[in-house]
Structure 1
Amino acid sequence: MKNVNYLPNVLSKMEAEEKGAFALVWVDEDRCNIAEGPNANIVIVSRKRELILPKLDRVLHGCTAKRLLMLGKKLVGKGILKSVESRDISAEEAKSSSEMIFVSSLIPIMPVVEWDGEAIGDGEKPFVYSFFGLSFSLIRFISILLSINFFF
C-alpha cells in the first residue's frame, strides 16, 4: 500500500549511498515486480523498444511519469518506440531491459546504468536522450508562456 511516509525512502537512499549507489529499487515481495525508487517512478525500455511503467495501483502516481508516457506516444508515432504500456515488470525483466529510468519532479529523467553490479543495457541510452530533449522542449515552451527566465 502506498503512503506518504518518506522515512523508508530516506533510509533506503542512505543504504544505497553506503553501498556506493544512487538509490534502491523497491520490489513487490509478493510478486517480485519492481515498484518505484525513493520518491521516483521507474520506467523501462524493453529490448523490443517498448516503454513500460509499472502499474499505478501500487506505486506513486507521478506527474512526470505520466508525462513521460505521453511523450513516449510521440516516439511511437515517429517509429522510435514500438509501444507504451503500464503493467507489472519483474525484477528480472527490468534488469535485462535496454534502458531503465528514474523519473520524478526532482530528477526529471535519470538513467539507471547498473543494478547489483550488472549493467543495464549496453551503455547506450538513446531513449533517455529522446525523453530529455522532449521534456526540456516542453519546459522551454511553458517558460515562454509564463515569462519565466529559464537558463540551461
Structure 2
Amino acid sequence: MRTVYVNGEYLPETEAKVSIFDRAFLMADGVYEVTSVLGGKLIDFDGHARRLQRSLGELEMQSPVTTEELLEIHRELVRVNEVDEGMIYLQITRGAPDDRDFVFPDPETTAPTIVLFTQSKPGLADSPKAKEGMKVISIEDQRWSRRDIKTVQLLYPSMGKMMAKKAGKDDAWMVEDGSVTEGTSNNAYIVKGDTIVTRGLSNDILHGITRAAVLRFAEEAQMKVEERPFTIEEAQGADEAFITSASTFVMPVVEIDGVALGDGTPGPRAARLREIYLEESRKTAI
C-alpha cells in the first residue's frame, strides 16, 4: 500500500480523502506536475517547480508550500514508497469552499488543496516501445486556448488517447488550423535531414520541461533546431519523428495516420537524443 501526501499529512492511500466541494472535482480548477524518478532520484525537479509556480500565477492561485518543502515531500514519498523508477504526481487546487460557486473563493478563508502520490514504473528508462517506436493518428485539437497552463482539464486528451486505442495505435497528435500542436500528453517533433522541427512556445502548447532539456541537448550535439508549425503531411514525409514528456523521455514515432516514416523503425537522431537525455538527466538528478 502506497503512502500519499494530502494537505500536510502522509497517509495510507486508502485513508486519503478530499472534499466533494473541492474545485478540482467540480470545476477542474487545479494544476499538476509529474516528475520522473530514476535511480531513486528526481529528474529536473527545478524545472517542474518553476512551471508549477507559473501555472499557479496564471490562475491567480496560491501554493500551500514552498519549493523547498515541496522537494522534501517528493523525496520523502520516494523514500517511504521505495521508488527506484517511476513518477510522482502533484496536484494543487484552489481548495474546497463551503459550497459550489463559479466565483473564486476568498483565499483568506479557503486554503488550497495539495495532493502527491507515487507511481512505481520498473523499467521506465528501458521501455521496449523506445526500440520499436510509436504509431500515432491525427485528431482535431478541441481543447481550450490556454494550453500553456498545466491544468487538470484532461478530458479531451484522454478522449484522444481512447481514439488512438480504438484505432489500434499508441497515441494521437492534435491538429489546429492545419498544423500539429502537440500530442495528447507530450510535445511533438519531426526530423528532416539534420534539422529537428517542433512548434514554438505559445499559449497553444504546453511548455514542456523535457522539451526544453532535449532542445538544449540537441543544440549542444550540433543538431539544428527550427521552432515552427508543421503539418501532418510534412510529418509523413519526414525522416524521423518523436515525442517528449516527463514519463516517456524521448520516444520515437514510426507511423503517422498509417504512413510509415523512413523504413518504419526508430531513427538514429531520436535514439541518440534519448540516450543523451537519460545520461545527462541522471547526472543532474537530485
Same fold (TM over 0.5): yes
Aligned to 1:140: 282
Distance 1:72 1:59 in 2: 20
Match of 1:38 among 167, 184, 189: 184
TM-score (norm 1): 0.83
Distance 2:261 2:165 in 1: 19
Match of 1:117 among 245, 258, 264: 258
Contact 2:191 2:240 in 1 (8 A): yes
Distance 1:140 1:124 in 2: 23
Structure 1 runs not aligned, ≥5 long: 147-152
Contact 1:39 1:104 in 2 (8 A): yes
Aligned to 2:236: 95
DSSP-derived class of the 2:246 partner: coil
Query: Structure 1 residue 124: deviation in Å?
Result: 4.7
Structure 2 runs not aligned, ≥5 long: 1-144
> Which is greater in Rg?
2
Greater per-residue helix proportion: 1
Counting matched residue pairs gives: 136
Amino acid at match of 1:107: T
Deviations 1:19-42 (A, max 9, x none): 1001111011x2x11110111000
What is the aligned-residue identity percentage?
28
Contact 1:34 1:94 in 2 (8 A): no
Amino acid at match of 1:63: I
Amino acid at match of 2:278: F
DSSP-derived class of the 1:43 partner: strand
Greater per-residue strand proportion: 2
Distance 2:275 2:266 in 1: 16
Distance 1:63 1:113 in 2: 23
Contact 1:42 1:103 in 2 (8 A): yes
TM-score (norm 2): 0.46
1:1-152 to 2 correspondences below 5 Å: 1-3=145-147, 4=151, 5-28=153-176, 30=177, 32-46=178-192, 48-57=193-202, 58-76=204-222, 81=223, 83-122=224-263, 123-143=265-285, 146=286
Runs of 4+ in 1 over 6 A off after TM superposition: none
Structure 1 range deviating more: 116-125 or 59-68: 116-125
